Amino acid sequence: MAETVPDRAATLLTSEPLVAHLATVHDDRPHVAPLWYNYRDGVIEITTTGRKLENLRQNPHVALSVQKAENGEPRWGVTLQGTARVIEDEEAGKAILHRINRRYGADEDAWSENTPVEITVESIDHWEY
């Protein structure tokens, strides 16, 4: 069941283009990889390929973390768990790719070979130091 994302956590997730770490499951073991993301309306949008994509097709339960640090000192963090859904609709997928790439200052069509995914947030925690 989706959890309402607190306003402050949403503000942190959208404050600047930081790298997130996505945890998937492979052979009953965690697999963690950095990636770009976009947050909107209780959903994390990512694009991915390879092992991460294969993992979430087999088991859609994922975790994601984002942390802001300055000179190695943590300032805030957000962790969440959710369920991933591969987006098969070409237009919806292209819109996700464009939103993510604009967020990070990349060409809208860069990395178009990656597959778009939406992660519905089911639990979330955030903190500030």
Per-residue pLDDT tens digits for 80-117:
999 999 999 999 999 999 999 999 999 999 999 999 99
State yes or no: pLDDT of 1 exceeds 70: no
**Between vectors from CA 113 to CA 37 and to CA 59, what angle results, nearest 5°?**
60
Q: What is the pTM of this model?
A: 0.94
List of domains in the chain: 7-128 (2.30.110.10)
Residue 77 has pLDDT above 80, yes or no: yes
